[in-house]
């Protein structure tokens, strides 16, 4: 059984170094995409403070994301590329950090409690396969350290699963 270890929150960069190590251990030896996405969601949701949603959307066709494994409240299943924060991250091919979801035009509210959001694309050989999406009920919950930390987790997930 994989045992998660509590990580000190004081130094965010160190927090993400340790979270990356735990994810590497958690996914080691497993290549099933759904299993790895499910465990990555569970690890983020358990270890990161002040989240109300953590999970995956996968591109099932070139113009639509479909809900993948997640932790949190039930969510919208399909998001068109270019729509919402997730679809915009895919269209732009870059991470999007939203300090106030109410100020993001076209934000799709799955949980009315969400106030800030971080979406990181999953890239493999230059192709976007989906996104990791994190929501928080706290305004401005995410910063550049969170973005870099989750981008590193996305790379570990991709390397383990594809």
Taking CB under 6 A as the rule, does residue 122 contact ligand SME? no
Reduce the DSSP state of residue 81 to 3 states and report it: coil
Nearer to ligand SME, 19 or 119 (CB): 119
Reduce the DSSP state of residue 88 to 3 states and report it: helix
- Cα-based distances in Å from 51 to 117, 133, 158: 9, 11, 23
Nearer to ligand SME, 22 or 153 (CB): 153
Task: Answer positive or negative: Cα dihedral of 152, 56, 11, 137.
Answer: positive
Query: Judged by CB under 6 A, which of 27, 43, 48, 79 binds ligand SME?
Result: 79
Kindly write out the interface string for residues 9-28 of this chain, putting x where it contacts ligand SME by CB under 6 A and - elsewhere. Answer: --------------------
Taking CB under 6 A as the rule, does residue 41 contact ligand SME? no
- Cα-based distances in Å from 123 to 46, 61, 152: 24, 15, 12
Contact of 121 with 98, CB cutoff 8 Å: no
| Other CB atoms within 10 A of residue 125 CB | 7
Query: Judged by CB under 6 A, which of 117, 121, 130, 149 binds ligand SME?
Result: 117
> Rounded to 10 degrees, what is the CA torsion of 60, 66, 17, 123?
30
Query: Judged by CB under 6 A, which of 27, 37, 86, 153 binds ligand SME?
Result: 86
Residue with smallest beta-carbon separation from ligand SME: 84
Taking CB under 6 A as the rule, does residue 133 contact ligand SME? yes
Sole window of 10-18, 28-36, 72-80, 121-129 interacting with ligand SME (rule: CB under 6 A) = 72-80
Residues that bind ligand SME (CB under 6 A): 53, 75-76, 79, 84-87, 107-108, 110, 114, 117, 133, 135
């Amino acid at each position: 059984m994989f045992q998660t270890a509590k990580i000190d929150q004081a130094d965010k960069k160190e927090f993400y170094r340790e979270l990356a190590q735990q994810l590497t251990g958690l996914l080691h030896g497993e290549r099933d995409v759904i299993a790895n996405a499910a465990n990555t969601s569970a690890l983020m949701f358990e270890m990161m403070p002040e989240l109300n949603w953590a999970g995956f959307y996968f591109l099932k066709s070139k113009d639509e994301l479909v809900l993948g494994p997640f932790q949190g409240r039930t969510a919208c299943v399909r998001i068109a590329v270019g729509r919402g924060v997730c679809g915009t991250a895919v269209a732009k091919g870059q991470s999007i950090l939203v300090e106030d979801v109410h100020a993001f035009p076209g934000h799709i509210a799955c949980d009315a409690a969400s106030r800030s959001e971080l979406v990181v694309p999953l890239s493999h050989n230059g192709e976007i396969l989906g996104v990791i999406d994190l929501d928080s009920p706290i305004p401005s919950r995410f910063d550049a350290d969170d973005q870099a930390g989750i981008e590193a987790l996305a790379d570990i997930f991709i390397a383990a699963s594809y």
